[in-house]
Structure formats: C-alpha cells, structure tokens
Structure 1
Amino acid sequence: MEDLGFADVARELLLVAPGDFVAERTARQRAVRKDDRALAAAIGKLRKPAPAAWVVDLLAHDGALDDAVDLGPSLRKAQADADPNAIRALRRQRAEVVEALTQAGADLASDAGHTVTPAVLDQVRSTIEAAMADPHAGAAVTSGLLVAPLESVGFDTVDLDGSLADPDAVPDAWSGSGAPPIPIAEARGARKATRASRPAKRGGPEPEPERESDADPEPTRDPAADRKAARQAETAARTESRDADAALDAAEADLEQAEERRAEFRRALEQVEADIARLEAARDEAEAASDRARELLAAAQQHRRDLGR
C-alpha cells in the first residue's frame, strides 16, 4: 500500500458511503497495523462522518466548493462597504450557488448508492453557507476532512470544535485571515430598529402614545440576549450531538469487536472442519487398506487350500 499520512487516509475513508465506512476503516487499520501501529491507532479512532459532512466531503473531493468559498471575501467587503446593491447581488449569487452545490451533493451521494434526506440537505446548505461566511470554516470545508456539519449564527464565528478528522492538517481553520464573519440569516431585527429610529416627516401629525406602543410591542427586547440564548441553545444541541456521536462510535466499536470475534470463531470452525475432513479421509484410506488386506488374506487362504487338495 502507498505510504500515506493519517490526513490522506482519512480523506479517502471519509469518501466511503456511510454503510460501508466501518468495514472499510477496519480493513485500512488492519492493512497498516504491521508497519505503522500509530497510524493504525489513529485510523481506528477516526469518526464516522455525519451524512451531511460526508456529502460536503464528496463536493470538496471534486473541487466543487472552491468557487463558493471564494465568494466569501466579496460578501465581507460589500458588507464592510455597506454597498446595498453589491450585497443584494452577491446574496442572490450566493443563494444560487448554495442551491446548485446542494443538488450536486445529492447527485454525488446518489451515484455512491446513498440517497440523502431533505433534513441532511438542509445541513449541507448550512455548511456551505458557513464556509462562505467565515474564512476559517471555508478552510475546514474545503479540506475534505469534515466529520460534522457546520452552521453560521449571525455575526458569531463558526464553531469548528470536533468538526475535523485531523485539525492539525488544516491550520487555516484555526489561524485564518481573522476576517470577521458575515451573517447568513438576515438581521431583520436590526433593520426594524433602523426603520423605527427614522424621524417622522415634517408637517405630519404627531404620533399618539398608544400608536407608538402598538408599533413597537416589545420595546425592551434585547437582541444581544436573544443571540446569547440562541448560542446557548446551539451549544446544548451540539453537546447532545457529540454525546450521540460518542455513543454511536462506542456501538460501532462493539460491533467491530463482535465481528472480529465472529471471524475468529469462523476461522476456528473452518479449521475444525478441515481437521474432520482430513480424519475422515484417513479413516476411508485405512478402511480401504483393511479391505485390501482381507482380500489378500482370503486369496492366500484359498491358494493354500488349493495346494492341499
């Protein structure tokens, strides 16, 4: 086998269809165990990718995500320049690119014999959008080492914790350009606040107190608190997801051990069956030799009787 590092082996394994991943990982681990036990141990610990991450890795392998990630700097510049026309045009282009890539990912998965669900495709969209919003996420997504989907929340950086099979192989995911992310979800609350803060037209009637209250039913709502609550909910959900992944990994490890024991039992049974076949062949040969000996004895006795007559 070609001498590959862990990141290269991981990239190959992460392209394997989910149903075949565990068996292929075990086969690769056994293939290198004799020559490189450290690499074998690393392969054994490689997490099975979430379905959405697998689809994104297929797209990364085809180089289909590079142009999408390249849109990120243009979006961030338009955001910084507060150019509404450029922002609208780029957002429209972003939506078209994301949808096209999501469909391409679904096609690649289907070609690999695995049909993905609409929920998985939603995670694929979110991951591609996160890659366009945050340069660190872009480096992670194009690496081909993704094991968990990503999501961009407002102006916060994308959480990459636990998302890569080999974080050391993708330094730009952690030490990228430092450019601030752009929001994927439009800041509707901010736009409403801007409209509410515009002065009334001169000459117009003074707004009545109750009308002002009706126009702004939640004057004390704190967007920062809402964002914090959303981040906390996302963190809790991500923790639950990691716990579920850990339980799944443990179950897969138990399954692998059971399969190995079954294979050992099968080899032992085959050896016993081979021994039985060998003993039966020896028995048949002994019986044949005994029959030949009896025939010779009978012939000799008959010959002696004939001579005595």
Structure 2
Amino acid sequence: MSQDEVDEVAAELYALPPTAFTAARNARAAAVGGDVGSRIKALRKPTVSAWTVDLLAREGDLGEALDLAAALREAQDDLDAAELARLSGQRRQLVAALTAQAVSLAEAAGVTVSAAARDDVHKTLNAAVLDAAAAAAVRTARMVRPLEATGFGTVDAAGLADVVGGSLPGVEVDPPRDDLAQRRARRAAEKAAREADRAANDAARDEAKLAERRDRARHKLDHVRERLDDLRRDIARLEADEAAAAATLTELEDRLGAAASTARAAAARAEDARRSLTELS
C-alpha cells in the first residue's frame, strides 16, 4: 500500500465522527496488518475543532478563502497598505462566515462544537487564509488538531506534519516570481490607466469650466462695448448741444451788450430832455 493509499484510508477515517474514529482506525489497521497497518494505527484521533474544519474542507467551499489568502500574501509582499486593509476586512468577514458554516455542518452531523472548539475552528481557518502552508494542510481534510497564525507566513510548513493525519502535500508558499511580476505589472498598468483617466476627466472638467468663464467674459465684453458705443453717441450729441448752446450764449451776450449800450444812450437823452424842460419852466 502506497502513501497515497494510506492517505485515502486516512481521509475515510477522518470523515467519521470523532467518537467513531478510534474503533474504525484500529479495525482497519488490524485488517491490513504489517507495516502499513502500523502506519494506519499511528493515525491520531482528531479534536472536535480539527474534525469540524475537515468537514468544512470536504463539504463546504473554501475556494474563496484560499483565493483571498493568495491576494493577501501578494498585498503584503507588495507593501500595498490600502489593498491590505481592504482585503483584511474581507478576511475577517469571510473567516467568521466560514466558521459559522463549519459549526453548522458539524451540528447537522450530530457533533456538538463547544465555544472553545469554535474558537479553534476560527483560528485554524484564519491561519489557512494567512498562510499558504496552513491552507495546504486544511485542504487535505485530514487535520488532527487546530492551527493558529499570528501574522503572515508564521506557520512553518515543516512543522505541520503533526497536525495532519497522513502525508502533507508540498506547499508553494509564494507564487512564482514571474507570475508575481506579471500581476504587479498588470496592477501598475491598471493603476496608471485609472490615474490617466482621472487626469483626463479632471482636465476635461477644467476645460469646460474655463470655456464657460470665457463665454461669460465675452458676453460681458460685448455688453460693455455696446454701452460704450451708446455712451460715445450720447457724448457726441451732448458735445454738439454744448457747442450750439455756447454759440447761442455768445450771441445773446453780444446782443445784450449792444442793448445795454442803447439803453444807456436813450436814458442819457431822456435825462437831457428833462433838464431842458426844467430850465424852460
């Protein structure tokens, strides 16, 4: 029996409720016998929390969580704080939802999950999202004890052997460098395109605002010029009226002067006539 076949037996045993594991394992080991039987007999009974995670791995949907795990590691590697904060919020929501789903599956199977076991389920799923090695262990659906991670890359792939019944598949912790470089280049190009679109939109808005201000200024200039033309015509008329009034005033002053001279001469003659009359009397 190869290691793959031992892993198949382990997967069958870990699909059983924890209370039925030991008897089924011993029976299977006795039936096989020899070195392989010893390897089967060495499989450890899973804790309730580990079994619950195994159940979720078999019957739930961890694809979204594991996709998010890769995105989180990439954001951490790129030191993209904004993207990391956004994905971390998604991680918390997703891990909480997956924990609730796992507990619901376990209780539907007749296994009670205590508050402490539920907390271990949550920690294990969180570790799977944060760490590629932990995610590989969870994918096996052969977990025997829970995991916990305190940050990115804190679960050592070599130290996972004692948390998985059977063999642990190889783990590629980081994406291939060429693939990572391509994703970085694509994100950089997408960011540059977004910034270029934003700059083009800002420039178009500025152009539209300036065009509107120019049209208002042109309208105002046309209005002022019309008023100036009207005022110039009014000034020309007023200047003509001024010249005519000045000429009339000059003429009247000249005639007034002549009339005053005539009046004085007439008054003098009248005075002479009165004196002559007086003398004759």
Task: State the TM bucket, normalised to the shorter chain.
Answer: 0.5 to 0.7
Structure 2 residue 75 is the aligned partner of structure 1 residue 78: yes
- C-alpha RMSD over aligned residues: 1.9
Q: Which runs of 5+ in 1 are unaligned?
A: 180-309
Aligned-pair CA distance for 1:154: 3.1
What is the CA–CA distance in structure 2 between the aligned matches of 1:39 and 1:113, rounded to whole Å? Answer: 31
What is the CA–CA distance in structure 2 between the aligned matches of 1:110 and 1:32, rounded to whole Å? Answer: 33
What is the match of residue 49 of structure 1? 46
One-letter identity of the residue aligned with 2:151: G
Residues 53-132 of structure 1: pairs in structure 2 closer than 5 A: 53-62=50-59, 64-132=61-129
Q: Is the 8 A contact 1:49 1:147 kept in 2?
A: yes
Change (3 A) 1:154 1:94: closer
Q: Which runs of 5+ in 2 are unaligned?
A: 176-281
Deviations 1:204-257 (A, max 9, x none): xxxxxxxxxxxxxxxxxxxxxxxxxxxxxxxxxxxxxxxxxxxxxxxxxxxxxx
Q: Is the 8 A contact 2:60 2:101 kept in 1?
A: no
Q: Is the 8 A contact 1:5 1:39 kept in 2?
A: no
What is the CA–CA distance in structure 2 between the aligned matches of 1:145 and 1:20, rounded to whole Å? Answer: 15
What is the CA–CA distance in structure 2 between the aligned matches of 1:93 and 1:135, rounded to whole Å? Answer: 17
Aligned-pair CA distance for 1:136: 1.1
Aligned-pair CA distance for 1:110: 0.8
What is the match of residue 16 of structure 2? 16
One-letter identity of the residue aligned with 1:60: A
Structure in which a larger fraction of residues adopt helix: 2
One-letter identity of the residue aligned with 1:162: D
One-letter identity of the residue aligned with 2:165: A
Which structure would you say has the larger Rg?
Answer: 2
- Residue identity over aligned pairs, in percent, reads 41
What is the match of residue 250 of structure 2? none
Aligned length: 169
SS of equivalent to 2:91: helix
Deviations 1:143-171 (A, max 9, x none): 1121111111235521425111123x412
Change (3 A) 1:77 1:171: closer
Change (3 A) 1:151 1:166: same
What is the CA–CA distance in structure 1 between the aligned matches of 2:15 and 2:141, rounded to whole Å? Answer: 9
Structure 2 residue 149 is the aligned partner of structure 1 residue 152: yes
Residues 1-309 of structure 1: pairs in structure 2 closer than 5 A: 5-33=5-33, 37-62=34-59, 64-155=61-152, 157-159=154-156, 160-167=160-167, 169-172=168-171, 176-178=172-174
Deviations 1:252-309 (A, max 9, x none): xxxxxxxxxxxxxxxxxxxxxxxxxxxxxxxxxxxxxxxxxxxxxxxxxxxxxxxxxx
Aligned-pair CA distance for 1:80: 3.0
One-letter identity of the residue aligned with 1:154: G
Aligned-pair CA distance for 1:82: 3.2
User: What TM-score results when the alignment is normalised by the length of structure 1?
Assistant: 0.51
One-letter identity of the residue aligned with 1:158: V
One-letter identity of the residue aligned with 2:112: T
What is the CA–CA distance in structure 2 between the aligned matches of 1:110 and 1:70, rounded to whole Å? Answer: 27
What is the match of residue 264 of structure 1? none
Q: Is the 8 A contact 1:66 1:142 kept in 2?
A: no
Q: Is the 8 A contact 2:10 2:43 kept in 1?
A: yes
What is the CA–CA distance in structure 2 between the aligned matches of 1:20 and 1:99, rounded to whole Å? Answer: 28
